[in-house]
Chains A and B, each alone.
Chain A
Amino acid sequence: MKFYIDNLPIVFPYDRIYPEQYAYMCDLKRTLDATGHCVLEMPSGTGKTVSLLSLIVSYQQASIWLSFYPTKRKLIYCSRTVPEIEKALAELKRLVKYRVSTAETPEQREKEEHFMGLGLTSRKNLCIHPEVSKEKKGKVVDARCRDLTSSAACDKGRADPGSVELCDWHENLNKYEPGNLLPPGIWTLADILQHGQDNGTCPYFTVRRMMPFVDVIIYSFHYLLDPKVAEQVSKELSKDAIVVFDEAHNIDNVCIESLSIDLTRPMLDSAARSVTKLGDKIEEIKKTDAAKLQDEYAKLVEGLQESTTDNSAEDPFMTNPGESNLNVIMLPDDLLNEAIPGNIRKAEHFVAFLKRFVEYLKTRMRVLHVVAETPLSFLQHLKDITYIERRPLRFCAERLQSMIRTLELNRLDEHSALQKVASFATLVATYEKGFLLILEPFETDNATVPNPVFHFTCLDPSLAIKPVFEHFSSVVITSGTISPLDMYPKMLQFTPVVQETYPMTLARNAFLPLVITRGSDQVAISSRFEVRNDPAVVRNFGSILVEYSKIVPDGIVAFFPSYLYMESIVAAWNDMGILNEVWKNKLIFVETPDANETSIALENYRRACDNGRGAVLLSVARGKVSEGIDFDHNYGRAVIMFGVPYQYTESRILKARLEYLRDAYRIRESEFLGFDAMRNAAQCVGRVLRGKTDWGLMVFADKRFARADKRAKLPRWINQYITEVASNLSTDMAVTLSKLFMRTISQNPNENQTGVSLWTLEDVEKAQVKQKEQALLHEQEQRDMDDMEEDEYGDGGIGDEMLGILDI
């Protein structure tokens, strides 16, 4: 359908629209018009992505024929996982196809056809080189690809064919005009792979080189938030681009992750070996090609800035987001303008410097008690012992990169540990606040063999996202579960212009949330640490699964609070014979540590659901499956949340983070923990819905879910459907309610949803007229308020003014 919001023509690729979608688009437009940021929560499964894309593409396409939208703004759409990225691309493809088919004039049609959108992911996912793509580890793929495609290798290989092995697929790209590697249109990742195979071109570099020419780019959060990657991938994006973080409920964690580093003893050993190798290489080059090192030195004296620009001019899109560690860390501007300090400009000096630093870290690792310190105190100690200053440390990553380039090293994956140490050095010397160093000599409290880990942990999520908010004018943060809304602006330190959550309009209740607080034997159930392994609790959890496997058709998904708990409870259930009962009704699939193995299990789970055999999938909240995989329709008729998915509160990193949140942002520990647990629970549970004809049961099995403060943290659209009765149930009562619900929902809906939870074009127009009227009324009221200081009742009664006219 086509309609207007204000003066903006919107093409929505369906005949109907949900009221939520319309409201969402209106608010989104407001944000874009105001060139500000926003936080929007829209119920899961009500077509968030399609509304978002529909509005923004309309906005982009309109900007040329309406004079007051100055330029075409690029859309940077970030999502969490590859399945989500692929889905977003597919939605975009469908949308553009629809736009083309409904275009009114040939010019318009041509314009729609020239709209271009691409997705970007790592080399590992896009490589079609027969040998390289066989590599299991992304890191190795990156390194091998680099060896075949780096500008140095290419120069050599082209000058003297056969001397250096090159990648044919990469070479073939040079046959095409830059900027014309692909016909215009929307390309999903699968499409790109297919195109690469058909034309003998490299899909990865096709995308990288086409990036400046596309209207929409879809990739993962990390490519924008991780400074090591962002510098490479996202630097060239213009300021007026629209940035969208979809599924952003965990965005703070991504921010924190992108600035945190762990060092272990094997890593340091490997780094030390790399340093030695580098030293040898330098000695060797000194003998053969001393001029090269001299050149580099001269460049560095001139200044860092130049060297980076040089490099990017040379091969602008050669670096890979996946490998990351080598690359420049996005530093405050003042730093970028400084030159690399003198004491590490000479290669051999730098190697000695690194050696000292690695040795120092190794010594620190020998301590057998837990240490927690701030970066400042770490630097002080470092200076006292080794005389390493803060300034050269800051340039460590940069300097290492330059050296690797000069030495033309191959197989960088072997040096990844050293790269990590260098990144660590730069980070620790750059940030003073919001970070903590924690040394944990033992893995667990009762371990006796030391396995020390040096955590450099970021506590403040706003640090990583700050450049994004500063650089881009409109940042949209959206998800199905992002309650409470004010938490995000607080944690990420920004001011949204629009902050909105939408209730779900339903013609009939399409989902039934239930809180089970006790088993049929009235024993309270909880995943609280003290009771979670109590046989009564384990059995009661089990009987919930058994009962639901009896009554629910097709797929059931169950989530546990942690891997540890899931693994122990699965074993316990098996020994108690509980799983035997489940086997009678459904097949059982379990998430495993291996991602591919789990994908296969997932594929089979879907087959079992399609076939009607039905299956149960056991997985973990915050785990691999809980993000990005939809369990809509028959793939998930019930989702059971066993326990509240709290984080492990004994973790030192978490404790440090909680403390920081309390001191810096006045967010209480319990508040944050509760918020974090509930957003993950809601996320798991929200996966079962897609569209309003879909239905599902949502079972929260823990007595703590019954508390009002917990429930208040659930998104409004879920909370509004938890009745008083359903908030405190025993297993048998819950089963009875569920049966009743399924009996009702399985019948054909008699009432027509149209007009209530489903709008036609007329409904949209009606709503707009109403909106306008209300706006007018509001304006009028405002004016009236200004005019006279009398109270307005707003009840449509006889106005005072009118009474005044009357002559009684």
Chain B
Amino acid sequence: MPSVICTAKASYKKQLGSLELTEAHLQWTQDGKKAPSVRVPHQDAASLFCSKEGAAQVRLKLGLINDDAGHNFTFTSTPQGVAYSERETFKMELTNIISRNRSSGLLAVAPTTTTATTIAPTVATPTLKGPVTTVSSHAPTPLPASRASTSRAASVASDGRVAILSEQDAAKDFRLRKKVLLASPELLALHKELVMGGQITEAEFWEGREHLLLAQAATENQKRGRSGQLVDPRPQTVEGGEVKIVITPQLVHDIFEEFPVVAKAYNDNVPNKLTEAEFWKRYFQSKLFNAHRASIRSSATQHVVKEDPIFDMYLERDDDELEPRRPREEVSDLFINLGATLEDHGETGNEKDVTMQAGRQRGALPLIRKFNEHSERLLNSALGQGPPSKRRRTDSADKQNLLSQIEYDDLQDHESSPGVLLEMQGRQRYFEGQFGNMGEQREAVDVRDALVGLRNGLDGWEGRFSQLRVEKKSSDAALLSMTQNVASRLDIKTKKSDFPPDLFRQLMTCQTAANEFLRQFWISIYPPPSDFPTPSSLSSTATQRSAKAAKMAGYLGKTHEKVDALVRGAGVEGVEGGRVVVAMKPILDAVDHALAFYRARNVGGGKAVGVKLV
């Protein structure tokens, strides 16, 4: 039992109980029960939220990596002061844990999605780089390793550390594999059956599946861009007509980036003229802030806005003229230069009607400009500055680009592949035969003869037609066969899932396992052209491969036994054994084929024999 760091009385989902923080988990146990009903490993903790000081209930919310909803605990110790101090203890510990989680790079999410410690209106201290004070025993060993011990793969854990991807370190590689397995239940089941069952090694299992790991690694390495949302702190009204705005370090950072003028004001005034808190307080009440808000409904907030000698200095007039306040370089690319069209000929005609005059809603213009600028800023933050707009299209790369914009790709003949020739015995004869027939037919048709023949054939048709009798028996038979056909189809449809679920699962397992063996077998026989990096230890030599093939062949050989066992099992379950045989026939055929091939190969003298597919 790991040692408990701190504990407190807390309710969870309106049930009373106690909350404990141990070295590895945060757990909550309902009163009167022994086992904890909530158990969160440290690595899963992603974010922390607390209720405000002085709120009716002392709450703490823990967000998880895969689950933003997280868990909500209410500290129930009385008086509230005690509960509060208990919460603080938990908060401190958890904050450290979370920050360690983040710094260990486990989270793909950039830290911008923030721990929003909500203490208004002071600025929260940055919690992200707090020192690791507790849980020192766990120090910097990669977290997945510690998790491995808890997983059921205990027996193969050491084996599992072998790196599959050469350039990854073992721990990371293991984590990747785990993620891939968790993401796909079928693969997990197969892994459980084969690798943990000790039938094939971990490395063998992943051979041929490297792409899954690479894909996973690529996804994780993808850097997530900044969130697109506008920086628009919306004030919350609390009782007493006060307006509160929650400030987080992230928000401060965003504001500075979005509105450089605020950063300038901050540099000019803090801490000489204003304290930090005062600065923000006044900013949010100033006209400047109002001008920065992304809304045209500014009249509603008008009464809160005060004259402010400091901030009003930084105020710029609204950017609501038809032309932007800040002149920009002209776009040089003529393909998207709208101004060129405007200047292409003198203005003619009557003015546009009211609805088609751009910029008549002056209030909306600053907003629209803000959108464009914000989007541009986001783009620049990800891609660097835009293309140098001064430049003329001269270099060859640009010419290429120009062409690519006007070219029709699908009209180009990209050296279409000649296709695979159909290998067929006696091809010549086949085609000749066809032609021959056709030729004969052609010659045979002589219109006049045919017409004469037709006419002769038509002689006396009336009499013959009246004698026409449709025989009853044959038509009945036809109908009957059709009915039977329909009935049998219906039969099949209604009796769809007639294997008992248990047996069905067994069948499935047997099938997938056999498939896996087959895959391994054929891989060892025909190694795939490897275009992705495989570690040198695994790029198996011919001898290794033949050994593996032999092993797999051995496994495959047992498939028949397994199926027989299933057939017997089916008998017990009350299912006709024959149906199981039918169901497993394809896989057995495949296995037989593989085995036959293997035997033939061995008899033929191993590697030297040319391989021929039937």
Instruction: Enumerate chain A interface residues (CB-CB to B < 8 A).
Output: 14-18, 47, 50, 80-83, 85-87, 90-91, 94, 121-122, 124-125, 138-139, 188-190, 193-194, 197, 220, 222-223, 226, 228-229, 256-258, 260-262, 321-325, 443-444, 453, 455, 457, 561-565, 567-568, 570-571, 574-575, 579-580, 583-604, 606-608, 611, 613, 615, 620, 622-625, 627-630, 647-648, 650-651, 653-654, 690-693, 753, 758, 760, 802, 806, 808
Contact of B346 among A139, A455, A622, A650 (CB under 8 A): A139
Known contacts A81-B344, A257-B348; A86/B335 CB under 8 A? yes
Verify B408–A125 contact, CB threshold 8 A: no
For B378, list chain A residues within 8 Å (CB).
587, 613
Known: A87-B335, A220-B341, A588-B371. 6 other contacts (CB 8 A): A17-B411, A81-B338, A564-B360, A594-B324, A611-B382, A613-B378
Interface window among B95-103, B221-229, B266-274, B282-290:
B221-229
Query: In the complex, how many residues of chain B place their beta carbon closer than 8 angstroms to a beta carbon of chain A?
Result: 76
Verify A584–B228 contact, CB threshold 8 A: yes
For B228, list chain A residues within 8 Å (CB).
583-587
Known contacts A16-B413, A323-B346; A453/B334 CB under 8 A? no
Known contacts A15-B413, A443-B354, A758-B411; A138/B375 CB under 8 A? no
For B341, list chain A residues within 8 Å (CB).
80-83, 220, 595, 624, 627-628
Known contacts A587-B228, A693-B409; A600/B351 CB under 8 A? no
The smallest C-beta distance from B96 to any residue of chain A, in angstroms, reads 31
Verify A125–B361 contact, CB threshold 8 A: no
Say if the beta carbon of B277 comes within 8 Å of chain A.
no
For A628, list chain B residues within 8 Å (CB).
338, 341
Say if the beta carbon of B440 comes within 8 Å of chain A.
no
Give me 30 A-to-B residue pairs in the complex whose CB atoms sit less than 8 angstroms apart, sorted by A's number: A82-B334, A82-B344, A90-B402, A91-B406, A94-B406, A122-B343, A125-B344, A139-B346, A190-B334, A193-B392, A220-B344, A229-B345, A256-B349, A321-B345, A324-B348, A563-B356, A564-B360, A570-B364, A574-B296, A583-B227, A588-B375, A590-B371, A593-B359, A599-B336, A599-B339, A611-B379, A613-B382, A648-B356, A691-B410, A806-B455
For A256, list chain B residues within 8 Å (CB).
349
Verify A604–B339 contact, CB threshold 8 A: no
Known contacts A190-B393, A571-B364, A588-B371; A603/B336 CB under 8 A? yes
Say if the beta carbon of B294 comes within 8 Å of chain A.
yes
Verify B360–A222 contact, CB threshold 8 A: no
For B295, list chain A residues within 8 Å (CB).
574-575
**A588 CA to B370 CA, complexed, in Å:** 10
Say if the beta carbon of B333 comes within 8 Å of chain A.
yes
Contact of B375 among A17, A194, A584, A604 (CB under 8 A): A604
Verify A567–B356 contact, CB threshold 8 A: no
For B369, list chain A residues within 8 Å (CB).
592, 597
Verify B296–A758 contact, CB threshold 8 A: no
For A575, list chain B residues within 8 Å (CB).
295-297
Known contacts A94-B406, A125-B340; A568/B364 CB under 8 A? yes
Of residues 226 through 272 on chain B, the ones whose CB sits less than 8 Å from some CB of chain A are 227-230
For B225, list chain A residues within 8 Å (CB).
613
For A15, list chain B residues within 8 Å (CB).
411-413
For B411, list chain A residues within 8 Å (CB).
14-18, 47, 691, 758
**A125 CA to B342 CA, complexed, in Å:** 10
Known contacts A648-B355, A691-B410; A568/B361 CB under 8 A? yes
**A197 CA to B333 CA, complexed, in Å:** 17
Verify A322–B343 contact, CB threshold 8 A: yes
Known contacts A571-B363, A575-B296, A758-B410; A262/B351 CB under 8 A? yes
**A598 CA to B338 CA, complexed, in Å:** 7
**A622 CA to B356 CA, complexed, in Å:** 9
Residue of B nearest to A591 (CB): B358
For A138, list chain B residues within 8 Å (CB).
343, 346
Verify A584–B339 contact, CB threshold 8 A: no
Known contacts A588-B371, A608-B379; A14/B408 CB under 8 A? yes
For A808, list chain B residues within 8 Å (CB).
455
Verify B229–A595 contact, CB threshold 8 A: no
Verify B229–A584 contact, CB threshold 8 A: yes
**A17 CA to B359 CA, complexed, in Å:** 45
Say if the beta carbon of B145 comes within 8 Å of chain A.
no
Say if the beta carbon of B372 comes within 8 Å of chain A.
yes
For B335, list chain A residues within 8 Å (CB).
83, 86-87
The smallest C-beta distance from A78 to any residue of chain B, in angstroms, reads 11
Verify A258–B393 contact, CB threshold 8 A: no
Say if the beta carbon of B536 comes within 8 Å of chain A.
no
**A595 CA to B411 CA, complexed, in Å:** 34
The smallest C-beta distance from B469 to any residue of chain A, in angstroms, reads 29
Contact of B394 among A121, A188, A194, A601 (CB under 8 A): A194
Contact of A590 among B296, B363, B368 (CB under 8 A): B368
For B351, list chain A residues within 8 Å (CB).
262, 453
Known contacts A16-B413, A758-B410; A124/B349 CB under 8 A? no
> What 1/0 flags go to B582-597 for Cβ under 8 Å of A?
0000000000000000
For A599, list chain B residues within 8 Å (CB).
330-331, 336-339
Contact of B349 among A90, A122, A258, A601 (CB under 8 A): A258
The smallest C-beta distance from B242 to any residue of chain A, in angstroms, reads 23
Residue of B nearest to A225 (CB): B348
Contact of A194 among B336, B392, B412 (CB under 8 A): B392
Contact of A567 among B227, B336, B361, B455 (CB under 8 A): B361
Verify B350–A122 contact, CB threshold 8 A: no
Verify B350–A602 contact, CB threshold 8 A: no
Say if the beta carbon of B46 comes within 8 Å of chain A.
no
Verify B348–A83 contact, CB threshold 8 A: no
For B387, list chain A residues within 8 Å (CB).
603
Say if the beta carbon of B323 comes within 8 Å of chain A.
yes
For B375, list chain A residues within 8 Å (CB).
587-589, 601, 604, 608, 615
For B296, list chain A residues within 8 Å (CB).
571, 574-575
For A222, list chain B residues within 8 Å (CB).
344-345, 348
Known contacts A190-B393, A589-B375, A604-B386; A122/B345 CB under 8 A? yes
Known contacts A87-B406, A222-B348; A583/B230 CB under 8 A? yes
Known contacts A14-B408, A194-B392, A691-B409; A594/B323 CB under 8 A? yes
The smallest C-beta distance from B350 to any residue of chain A, in angstroms, reads 5
The smallest C-beta distance from A511 to any residue of chain B, in angstroms, reads 15
Verify B372–A592 contact, CB threshold 8 A: yes
The smallest C-beta distance from B599 to any residue of chain A, in angstroms, reads 38
**A608 CA to B359 CA, complexed, in Å:** 25
Verify B361–A648 contact, CB threshold 8 A: no
Verify A603–B331 contact, CB threshold 8 A: yes
Say if the beta carbon of B567 comes within 8 Å of chain A.
no
For B371, list chain A residues within 8 Å (CB).
570, 579, 588-590
The smallest C-beta distance from A417 to any residue of chain B, in angstroms, reads 13
Say if the beta carbon of B434 comes within 8 Å of chain A.
no
The smallest C-beta distance from A483 to any residue of chain B, in angstroms, reads 23
The smallest C-beta distance from A438 to any residue of chain B, in angstroms, reads 9
**A590 CA to B389 CA, complexed, in Å:** 20
For B355, list chain A residues within 8 Å (CB).
561-565, 648
Contact of B337 among A83, A323, A691 (CB under 8 A): A83
**A329 CA to B301 CA, complexed, in Å:** 57
Residue of A nearest to B342 (CB): A595
**A258 CA to B345 CA, complexed, in Å:** 11
**A627 CA to B331 CA, complexed, in Å:** 17
Verify B368–A567 contact, CB threshold 8 A: yes
Say if the beta carbon of B376 comes within 8 Å of chain A.
yes
Contact of B331 among A563, A600, A620 (CB under 8 A): A600
Verify B358–A593 contact, CB threshold 8 A: yes
Q: Which 8 pairs, one residue from A and one from B, show the smallest C-beta to C-beta distance?
A: A257-B349, A15-B413, A593-B359, A14-B411, A593-B358, A567-B361, A562-B355, A82-B340
Residue of B nearest to A690 (CB): B408
By CB atoms of chain A within 10 A, which of B338, B339, B386 has the most? B338
For B383, list chain A residues within 8 Å (CB).
607, 611
**A323 CA to B355 CA, complexed, in Å:** 28
